[in-house]
Amino acid sequence: MSKIFRHRKVWPFQLLLVGFIVWLAHGILAHAQADRKPVVIERAPLRFIKDPNPSFSAVAVDSDSNMLVVSDENMFRIMEYDRRENTPPQARLSEPKRIISGTNTKAEMICGVYIDPKTKEIYALNGDTQNWMPVFSTDARGNVAPNRALNIPGHPFQMAADEDQQLLYMTIQSDNQLAVYRKQASGGEKPLRTIRGNDTRLEDPHGLALDLKNRLIFVSNFGNGNVRGAGGRYGTFAPPSITVYPMEGSGNIKPMRVIQGPKTLMNWPAHMAFHQERQELFVANDADNSILVFRASDEGDVAPIRVIKGPKTGIKSPPGIALDAKLGELYVANMGTPSITVFPVTATGDVAPSRTIRGGPAGAVGLMIGNPGAVGYDSKREQILVPN
């Protein structure tokens, strides 16, 4: 009985002691916060890891005006060259005719460009860091505001235009969808229609090309799916693919055809371009430094009819391509080395380009630092880990 009685006497004292400690700690913390002042530390970095050269990610060509427009994701620039440029071997680089860059431009991680065939305006797609598609006039240069800009939720990657209908088609990566806008859309205007849903088999869509004659949309997919159901959303992984839809399609529709399988050689199928007369689909195959060419009618696990690949080609991590059907030329934007390589549309195998436009020294290796979200350090290997 005495032990129980003693314990009952101790409990109130313990509670009082705990309360006093909490009160005291709160007072000390409040006092410390009141005395704390913000401190600005200006400290120069010990060193930089930065690519001094451009990282070309997208390309567009207009042979009537000899315009060649490329995007530089490294330094947030849109650059125009003369399409006939061919950097001499002894030259360090070819200087662009003009550069559009700066905080007023609404242009950062530009992953898609388009030249209006009539007005020669430049359309630019921001991929990761801004939700704007700025449009620039033919005389725009430097840190200038665009003529207009369209807000595009998500992360678009490539666009293609139906000039007869004045429509813009574009892939939206984060939402696994295709969006169709009026070509003159600006501000917060919504798309006229979208293709989106579980049945579409859109899985991290990137490249897009239009067959205007047969009214078809070709879409390249990395294979990262996002399934929506009554129980919520979950992810899926599939091999890379090309899915085909009618240009007037809308909603949760199934693809008309799918190109997919090991014979296709696809790994990271990025930008695409369609040759109307030849009925051929060109695919920038980023991860293995190649360009794949398929027939427009291909379906299933089929091999490409031509492959441009090898050390002679100068192709290195190509995210962007463009066709000049009038002159029969294929333009390849290389991110693994600062260059645009040009080939005849009939090129195949390990062939040298007909000409090369370099934005940096010959043989320069691109660091390909895209949009790193974090940096880690491996203390055992003494390595810096940068997820792009």
* Statement: residue 8 has pLDDT above 50: no
> What is the DSSP secondary structure assignment for residue 204, as one 8-state letter?
S
Indicate the domain borders of the chain. 1-33, 56-358
Q: How far is CA 169 from CA 25, 172, 292, in A?
A: 61, 10, 22
CB atoms within 10 A of CB 99: 17
In this predicted model, what pLDDT tens digit does every residue of 308-360 receive, in sequence order? 999 999 999 999 999 999 999 999 999 999 999 999 999 999 999 999 999 99
Q: Which two tokens stand for residue 199?
A: 């049945």
Q: Could you please report the per-residue DSSP string of 138-159?
A: TT--BS---SEEEE--S-EEEE
What would the mean pLDDT of 352-370 be, rounded to a whole number?
A: 91
Burial of 295 from C-beta contacts in 10 A (0-12 / 13-18 / 19+): middle
In this predicted model, what pLDDT tens digit does every residue of 14-59 receive, in sequence order? 666 666 676 666 666 666 555 566 777 788 887 778 888 999 999 9
Q: Which of 280, 215, 222, 282 is nearest to 245 (CA)?
A: 215
What value does the mean pLDDT of the chain take?
Answer: 91
Model pLDDT, residue 131 = 86
Model pLDDT, residue 385 = 83
Q: How far is CA 58 from CA 75, 176, 194, in A?
A: 14, 21, 24
Counting DSSP H helices and E strands in the chain, the numbers are 1, 28
In this predicted model, what pLDDT tens digit does every residue of 209-249 receive, in sequence order? 999 999 999 999 999 888 887 778 788 899 999 999 999 99
Q: What is the residue whose two structure tokens read 């120069």?
A: 44
Model pLDDT, residue 228 = 80
| Four-CA torsion 193, 219, 336, 66, nearest 10 degrees | -70
What would the mean pLDDT of 105-132 be, rounded to a whole number?
A: 93
Instruction: Tell the CATH topology of 56-358.
Output: Methylamine Dehydrogenase; Chain H (2.130.10)
Model pLDDT, residue 42 = 81
Q: Give 228-295 as a 3 state SS string.
A: EECCEEEEEECCCEEEEEECCCCECCCCCEEEECHHHCCCCEEEEEEECCCCEEEEEEHHHCEEEEEE
Burial of 50 from C-beta contacts in 10 A (0-12 / 13-18 / 19+): exposed
* Statement: residue 10 has pLDDT above 70: no
Please give the Cα distance from 68 to 331 (Å, whole number).
9
Q: How far is CA 34 from CA 22, 41, 354, in A?
A: 18, 20, 69
Q: What's the sign of the alpha-carbon dihedral 287, 290, 295, 301?
A: negative
Query: What confidence tier does 11 reach under pLDDT thresholds 50, 70, 90?
Result: low
